[in-house]
Structure 1
Amino acid sequence: MADRNFSLTLGPLLFNWPARKFADFYASIADEAPVDRVVIGEIVCSKRAHFHEDLIPEAIDRLERGGKQVVLASLALVTLERERRAARELFDQTAHEVEINDLALMNLAPEATPFSIGPLVNVYHEATVDFLARRGARRVCLPPELPFASVETIAQAAKGMGAEIEVWAYGRIPLAISGRCHHARAHGLSKDSCQFVCGDDLDGLPTKTLDGVDFLAINGVQTLSFRYANLIGDLDRLAAARVAGLRLSPHSGDFVAVAKAFADVSARVISPQEGLARLQGATPGAEFTDGFLFGNCGAAPLAAF
C-alpha cells in the first residue's frame, strides 16, 4: 500500500466573490484548513482584479502566519498591455513563487527562479514536463482532462526531472477560456459593459443542454463542468502513481470541511466513503464526477466506491 504523502494545494479562486466573502474565506483557510500551499490571485478576468487586489496582501500575511506557502497566480489569457504589466509585476517581486497559467509568461521568469505551472497550460506528456523543468518549473498541476494512464506516466517520469506533479482533485473542472464573456451575453450585455454579473453566481452559472440536462457552468469568460471533480476515492491509485499533490478548487459551502476530508482520507483517519459523505455535507447540492481520469465521458456522475 503506497504512502499517501500528498501535499494539499488550494487553487486560486475562479469566481467573482464579494470582498467580504473573499476576505473571510482566506481567513478561514489560514486559521483552520489543513492545506500546505495556497495559490492566490485573479486568473480568469483582469476586469475583476480590482475587487480583491487590496485584500490580497492581508490575506497573504494571514495565510503565511497560518503556516501556508503562498504562490501568486498569473492570468490565464493575457491579451492587453495592462495585463502584461501586471504579469511583469508578479515576476518583479521575489518574495513569492509565481504559478504560470499562460505559457507566454514563462519568458518573464528570471533565470534560475523556480516557478509553478498551472492546470490551464497544456502539459500532456513527460517531454513537456522535462522542457518546463529545465526552464525552472518545480511543480506542474496537470490539466484535468488527462486520463490516469497519462498521469501515471508523467508523474513517474517527473521524479527524475526535479519536478512534482499535482492533479485537480476537487471542484468544477476548467474546460475553456475565451476572449468573449459568456456570462455577460447570457444577461444581454457586452463584455465591455458586463456590470460584473458573474458576481451573482458564487460557483458559476449552470447551463443545460437542449434536452434540459445540466451540463456546463459559465464563469465570466470561462467554461467549467457542471459536476465537481472529486477524486477522494482514488487516492491510493494516485499515490502509487507517485502524484505529489492534490489541488482543491475553492467553492462556496464549508470549504474547510472539504480540505479536512481530503486530509483525513489521505492520512487514513477515515475511509473514502466517509470522506465522500463529508464532502456531500460540505457542499449541499453539488454533483460529483471523477472527470476524465478513469472514464471516457468527463461529465459522467461519480461511480460508487
Structure 2
Amino acid sequence: MTKTGLTLGPVLFNWSPDRLRDFYARIADEAEVDRVHLGEVVCGKRQPFTDGIWPELIERLQAAGKEVVLSTLALPYNPRERASVLDFCKAGELAEINDLTALPTVAGKPFLVGPFVNVYNEGAARFLAGRGATGICLPVELPIASVSVIAAALPEVEFELFAFGRLPLALSGRCYHARLHGLHKDGCQFVCDRDPDGLPVDTLDGQQFLAINGIQTLSNGVEAFCPTPVELAELGVRRLRLSPHTVDMVAVSRLYRALLDGRAGRAETLAAVKLLGLPGDLVDGFTRGQPGSARVEMA
C-alpha cells in the first residue's frame, strides 16, 4: 500500500513574523509531515508583514527535506493583491491556487488546488486537472461518499482531505474582527492578531457556534478526521492536511503519522489529540454527511 502523504497547510491566522519563524523552525526539525504550505491565504492586508520571511523559511524547510508549496490568497480584491498571487505562482515553487483568478498564470504547468476552490464533483476536478492540477484538497463540506466518487473518476490526481483544525468555511468582503472592535476594515489595526486561533462566536443563547479570523468564518469545533489506511485507500485519497494552530503541531503530526502508518488506531489517536488543549471540541460531521458541528464519536 502506498504511504499516505501528510501536509501542513498554510497558517490561516495573523501570526507575527517572529512567531512564524519559530513555528516553522520546529516544523522543519521535528514534524512528521512531508509537505509544508507557506503564504498568506486569508487577508491581503497582512501580506506586507510576512512577505519578507518566506524565502528564508523555504530554504530552511527544504534543507530539512520538506516539500514546500506556496499558497495564494483565496479572495484577492485589489490590484496589489492580484499581483501578489501572480508573483507567488511565478516564484518557482509549486503553487496552490485558492481562487480561480490565478488559473491563467498556472495553467499548463503543475499546480495544486486548495480547499477554498469549489470542487464539488468530478467535472470540476477534471476541468482543473486538464489545465495542470496534479493535486486537489477538496472542500471541507464534502462527505466521504462524494469524495470517493470524485477520486474514482480521476485516479491520476492526488486528492487530499482536510483532517485537522478549525474548518475554513467562508470569506467576506467585511472584517469581523474590525467590526467587533469598533473599527473599519481599512483601519483595522490588525486586531485579529489578538486571537491566534481565531475568536470563538456564541449564539445569543450562549451556544458555541463559529469562530472568526479577520474576514474569515471558521468552525468553532476542531475537525479531527482520523481514517485508517485501508479506509483512505478505499476512498482513493492519498494525502491528509493538518491546519496550523497554537497547539503542539509536532505532536499532532506524529499522531497522524502513526495513524496513517497503521501504528495507532482511530480511538487511540482521537484520545491523544483531545488532550492537546484544542480551541474547540472535536468534530467530523461533514465527512459523515451530517452537520459539520457534529461531534466526533470517540469509540
- The answer to whether the 8 A contact 2:112-2:135 is kept is yes
- The answer to whether the 8 A contact 1:19-1:52 is kept is yes
Worse-superposed segment, 165-174 or 276-285: 276-285
What pairs with 1:99-114 in structure 2 (closer than 5 Å)? 99-109=96-106, 111-114=107-110
| RMSD over aligned Cα atoms | 1.4
Report the count of equivalent residues: 299
- The answer to whether the 8 A contact 2:8-2:243 is kept is yes
CA deviation after TM superposition for structure 1 residue 295, in Å = 3.6
Q: Please point out which of 170, 182, 185 is paired with 2:176.
A: 182
Q: Paired residue for 2:146? A: 150
Q: Per-residue CA shift, 1:172-228, capped at 9, x if unaligned?
A: 011110110011111111101111000000100000011101110000000000001
Percentage of identical aligned residues: 48
SS at structure 2 position matched to 1:53: helix
**2: distance between equivalents of 1:274 and 1:134?**
40
Q: Per-residue CA shift, 1:102-160, capped at 9, x if unaligned?
A: 01210122x5310000000000011111111110000000000001110111112120x
Matched, 1:204 2:198: yes
Q: Paired residue for 2:17? A: 19
CA deviation after TM superposition for structure 1 residue 278, in Å = 2.0
SS at structure 2 position matched to 1:282: coil
- The answer to whether the 8 A contact 1:9-1:246 is kept is yes
**1: distance between equivalents of 2:230 and 2:217?**
30
Return the TM-score normalized by structure 2.
0.96
CA deviation after TM superposition for structure 1 residue 36, in Å = 1.1
**1: distance between equivalents of 2:160 and 2:195?**
28
Q: Paired residue for 1:290? A: 284
**1: distance between equivalents of 2:298 and 2:2?**
22
Could you tell me which runs of 5 or more consecutive residues in structure 2 were left unpaired when the two chains were aligned. Answer: none
- The answer to whether the 8 A contact 1:144-1:291 is kept is no
SS at structure 2 position matched to 1:12: coil
Pair 158,259 (structure 1): closer, same or farther in 2 beyond 3 Å: same
Q: Paired residue for 2:125? A: 129
**TM superposition outliers: structure 1 runs of 4+ over 6 Å:** none
Matched, 1:262 2:259: no
Matched, 1:247 2:244: no
Pair 284,120 (structure 1): closer, same or farther in 2 beyond 3 Å: closer
CA deviation after TM superposition for structure 1 residue 87, in Å = 1.4
Letter in 1 for 2:124: T
**1: distance between equivalents of 2:136 and 2:278?**
31
Q: Please point out which of 109, 113, 119 is paired with 1:117.
A: 113
- The answer to whether the 8 A contact 2:4-2:229 is kept is no
**2: distance between equivalents of 1:75 and 1:203?**
19
Q: Paired residue for 1:73? A: 71
Return the TM-score normalized by structure 1.
0.95
**2: distance between equivalents of 1:138 and 1:179?**
30
